[in-house]
Chain A
Amino acid sequence: ACFAAMRELTWTVVGDAPRASTAGPRLGVLSVPGGVDGRDEPVRIATPACLTYTRRGEPAHLTPDVLATLPPEARAFQVCLTHFMDHLPPTHVSNCPGGGRAYFGSAPTFALATARDAITFDQHAKPSNDASATYVGTPVGAKKVSVEEYMRWVFATRPHAFVQLADEQHSVEGVNAKKTRAAVERTANWLDACAAMNETDEKNAGTPGTPPVAMFASVQGGCDVEARRLSAKAAASRCLGFDASRNALGEPPASNETNAKKKTSRRDSVFGFSIGGLGTGEAPGAARAKLVAACVAELPREKPVHVAGVGAPLDLIAMIENGVDLMDNAFAHVMTLAGRALRFPVDAKDVEEKGEDAKTRTGASKKRRRDAADDDESLFSGSDAFSLNLWSLKYRTDTRPLLENCACHTCAHHTRAYVHHLLQCREMTASVLLDAHNQFHFLRFFAAAREAIANDAFAAFAAFHRNRAKEETEAGESDER
């Protein structure tokens, strides 16, 4: 059993017990069995961790040699399986010599498969209306996907972990409560279906010793706090042993008859939880935090919590505050697509080191706030507290790196003027250089968050970022006046 355990994916909390059991920021370690059959050294990924957004299994603009310039945690991927659902069946991946995992040339150290793209969230896919399938967005349009087909893809690609197929609702106000409950119930049913197929595959798996695919249960419920709680309870109940006498949501049967079925104590089939449907229209800040807190309160704290599609730095801080362990860096990629370079200081220490930037934030005069190299003061550049807009003509002759003192590949070799030029020419290399920088910076931000948690200083870390954003916004507004 111990040997088998070594070959499986594990996640453990780091630090003392009280922190482990209460909702709040915490450190953890995701231990990924290395190599085939777990024979090599496991890879350890510290959480809260940021998974790299991918397209068809690879980071969108980064070839393996450029990916190698990023820190090793960049090779933990979040893979959206619907990217593959275009022309060919799952066998074209699983037929790859060495199995499905060998298909991915970048050889991710950890891959978490999801059913929704973290950026587009299948905005044009139709809402599901039947119990057997849901609509997902694929490169060839909206497609109906059942649990069976989704699991076929999971087994073909053999990620280290996957999020169950869920009936994801957009979290907008005003959705019919009955609809939300139906979606929650469907999600719980599909959790059981995925678990059943996962077990079957493990028994029938071709290669002996193939580790099972760790499953993340999805917690849904839209904007409805009660539904969220219900969904979280239902997902949590699968960990502790499943009581078949209750319905999918864990409620006792409607009638007073005792159910003849015995309580089925199932193996713990849930590895972690993924809080779904976020970043789809709920108000960020307090409203979203309330939804997440409601979910986390019902979930066992010894399992990791994942949230996809919530991007901006302040939002991620709120997620970590509420006890989320795994997130994705889709925001960094969205910034790249917009031609923006991330430039916010990752923590208070970072500001001091950067010198010039530090002077600007405390009621300094308008003149000092401007960049020293800015010749044409009247150009409004569209940059903000977190990122530079490199399309702006302001950067035409700016020979500084994207971010001073940044150690990424782009800042070591290139200038703002060059990236600006590439954007203006619509050159592909612009995206490569921007992604290399933005992902590097985002990973630094996460490293700083982890350090703050380790030093018990996360509240100060969060306050720093919130205050900074507030000051930048206010200063910017006063500038315009």
Chain B
Amino acid sequence: GGATMASEGDARGGDSPIRFEVLATDGRARATRLTFTRGERACLTPMFMPVGTQGSLKGLTSQQLCDLECQVVLGNTYHLANRPGTEVLRASGGLAQFMHYTRGGTLTDSGGFQIFSLGAPSAEDGAEMKSRRVSKHKDAKGLIERVTERGVTFKSYRDGRTMELTPESSVRAQKALGADIIVPLDELPPYAIDPFALKKSVFRSHRWEARSLREHLNDVRDQAMYAVIHGGVDDALRRLSAEYLGGLPFDGFAIGGSLGKDTKELTNMLANLVPLLPSDRPNHLLGIGDEPSVRASVKLGIDAFDSTFPTRSARHGALLTRTRGRVNVRNAKNKDLFEPPCFECGCPLCSRHTLAYLHHLDRAREPTAWTLATEHNLWYMGNLMRELREKILADEL
């Protein structure tokens, strides 16, 4: 392992809402401790953040999240601002109080991802852009009406009325939600885009992020803001983005935009990008949760991940297990398998139920099946990240 470095996040001077210490390094990988100074809540990385889109992990109570030792939960500003709305959340004392998830931290995104991914009409976009439920308000043009320097004008997927999202309004909404980590508004271009358009988009993202940062710094409120590095798979653009945003007083760096069409493109991109990020602040890879990518990314120095993959696939019958690898609960061969899905897992599903039983609950479309499967997959991700942390600390990665 490498030397332990402590950094007070002093890029901006004054008290930082997060304290960041690198505990050990192993090659490029690193194990760190991220502490939210408000409440002295500490998180250990590498870590995985489940996505509680509308203020809950589907089927799980906040207490179960605490039992899972979940460290940070992600909420989507776009959905929460729609419903229940920022006023309700402000009146409830913020997202964490509203959900009553006070053990760990919360992160909200800017809303940009949903707007661009739910709004785009094109079918040639990559997998990350596909919307799963087409809104009845979406016509041939899509939900986005106009993207200008000011911001995005779009139709709400719920009731079709015209709304506007600007860097300033996104940050104001995130202030009402009160998450520990917030994200500036960025533009998300599709994967298939010509280099000139990509460059323009990256520059616009930079301007929006700078505006978001300024709005955030007017009233910090103990929240940390992560920049979002863009540039697609173009190494030069990624370098440019990292250098520009790295020079601004962000508290951490998220890697967003198109991450390549497969793990190989992702790792190539990260291999070039991560060394360019300031090493005294945390980084975060947006939207990646599958195990091969996670393992590869940790080796390249990524600290944190978020994804709907483990929880969404649980609801659709895919369990991640150590004993059997990936299990498709709905497969007929599981109907008589009277063993726990995973022998090495201590979650409520594996300690008390059998795969045959889960198979039948799932076929009967009982919601309990989804809850059990979701709990299990989150246990799995928690174990995976803990294993990676321990290997880094022991210099065995």
Q: Which residues of A pack against B, CB within 8 Å?
A: 55-56, 58-66, 83-84, 86-88, 92, 95-97, 103, 105-107, 139, 396-397, 399, 409-410, 413-415, 417-418, 420-422, 424-425, 427-429, 431-433, 436
Contacts and interface: CB of A to CB of B under 8 A. Distances in A.
A397 B361 CA distance: 36
Given A63-B348, A424-B84, A429-B61, A417 B364 contact: no
A268 B367 CA distance: 41
A429 B364 contact: no
Interface stretch (B4-12, B20-28, B62-70, B160-168): B62-70
Nearest to A65: B348
A409 B87 CA distance: 26
A415 B101 CA distance: 12
A429 B374 CA distance: 12
A139 B364 contact: yes
A425 B356 contact: no
Given A95-B338, A417-B84, A428-B371, A56 B354 contact: no
Nearest to A399: B92
Interface residues of B, number: 44
A195 B99 CA distance: 52
B371 A63 contact: yes
Contact of A427 (B58, B92, B363): B58
B83 to A, nearest CB: 6
B54 A427 contact: yes
Interface string B315-344: 000000000000000000001101000000
Given A56-B361, A60-B368, A415-B98, A65 B92 contact: no
Nearest to B101: A413
B372 A413 contact: no
Interface of B: 54-64, 67, 79, 83-84, 87-88, 91-93, 98-100, 335-336, 338, 348-349, 352-354, 356-357, 360-361, 363-364, 366-368, 370-372, 375
B177 to A, nearest CB: 13
A55 B364 CA distance: 9
B334 to A, nearest CB: 11
Closest 10 pairs between A and B when the two form their complex, measured CB to CB: A105-B353, A105-B352, A428-B59, A429-B56, A425-B54, A421-B84, A397-B91, A413-B100, A96-B338, A65-B348
B61 A409 contact: yes
Given A87-B363, A427-B56, 11 more contacts: A55-B368, A60-B368, A63-B375, A66-B61, A106-B352, A399-B91, A413-B61, A417-B98, A421-B84, A429-B61, A433-B61
Given A58-B361, A414-B62, A421 B88 contact: yes
B349 to A, nearest CB: 8
A10 B366 CA distance: 33
A95 B336 contact: yes
The residue in B56, B88, B348 that gathers the most chain A C-beta atoms within 10 A of its C-beta is B56
A417 B92 contact: yes
Given A418-B100, A421-B84, A63 B55 contact: no
A62 B60 CA distance: 10
Nearest to A421: B84
A429 B58 contact: yes
B84 A396 contact: yes
A97 B352 contact: no
